[in-house]
Copies of this chain bind each other. A is one copy, B any other.
Amino acid sequence: MDRLLLASDYQEGAHPAVLRRLAETNMEKTSGYGTDEFCAAAGDKIRAACGCPDAAVHFLVGGTQTNATVIDALLGPCQGVIAPESGHISTHEAGAIEFGGHKVLALPQSLGKLDAETIRDFCSAFFGDQNREHMVEPGMVYVSQPTEFGTLYSLSELTAISEVCREYSLRLYLDGARLAYALACEKNDVSLSDIARLCDAFYIGGTKCGALFGEAVVIPDPKLLPRFFTITKQHGALLAKGRLLGVQFDALFTDGLYMEIGRSAILAADRMREAVKGANFCLALDSPTNQVFLLLENSEAELLSESVDFSFWERRDASHIVVRLAASWATTPDEADRLGAVLRRIKASAGA
């Protein structure tokens, strides 16, 4: 039987509806660099979805690129970005923020989330410090929704963070690489409009949510980033055939496809979580979106690796590790059931 490939949510190409639009429009001729009508149409749909008619919408290619470009564009000289210690920019972007000359001010997190009070304490200490002119000034806050742990900020949590940011004149930036999986989650109470209201910039992830690639940066108040086009070019982040991004996001924001993609993945992930529990395994953390974190004994992980591709997440102790499984729009109920079967077999063989 084929291996189960559940290591990440970007293992396939694009959702068939997205690919179809690329094929249908392939021979049309447009101007480059996102100045075409597909980008205009996609921007309109995103503005409407965000309840934010004046927002600037820019399309970039990938997540690290988007984070590095937006953060560099928003920070002033000698400013840094507050982020959770587990944030993607703190850990897995090979120093892309520092390459742009800015420090990541990593603060303690809980299940991938920053707490408004943690930010307030840090800012209060910073702005009260007599030596602050010798220090990197916090200029913005980075959060991700869902987080790298698949967890969600509630509306009240995000509101509290937004309030701290406004109190201390920090920009609030939200990394929505997997935003579809937040928006479609039953437990989520933060809408696109809420994000647009509470944040100074954010991106709606395409790469992990049904597109071949692409992230849509939304800047509710476009006066904030007047030179963003050129900054994007300077970062090597301006796609020549920009319309490819417009076409894809136009498809994603037509007939509710983006939400449908999110829901489909969550359903698959829920079924995977049930399978885990049904096989008497433990979830390593309470993560309601498309990622499933599974606590395994070392020997169980070895057995699992014989038939399932997963991501190593972390070592919990000498005899246990946490592995991550990810569902996407392409994950089928059958795959979840096959995971369950594998897990039950492992448990049975251990008991034998």
Contacts and interface: CB of A to CB of B under 8 A. Distances in A.
Interface of A: 5, 7-8, 10-14, 16, 19, 22-23, 25-32, 61-69, 72-73, 76-78, 80, 91-96, 98-104, 106, 130-131, 133-137, 207-208, 212-213, 227, 229-231, 233-241, 244, 312, 330
A22 to B, nearest CB: 7
A96 B235 CA distance: 6
A131 to B, nearest CB: 6
B135 A91 contact: yes
Given A29-B12, A32-B8, A244-B213, A137 B230 contact: yes
Given A64-B238, A230-B134, A240-B207, A26 B12 contact: yes
Given A19-B23, A78-B231, A241-B207, A103 B92 contact: no
What is the total number of copies of this protein in its complex? 4
Contact of A76 (B13, B67, B98, B227): B227
A348 B220 CA distance: 52
A213 B11 CA distance: 19
Contacts of A25: 13
B10 A27 contact: no
Given A77-B73, A96-B235, A244-B213, A16 B7 contact: no
7 residue pairs, one from A and one from B, having the closest CB atoms: A65-B236, A13-B26, A94-B233, A94-B234, A11-B29, A5-B29, A95-B136
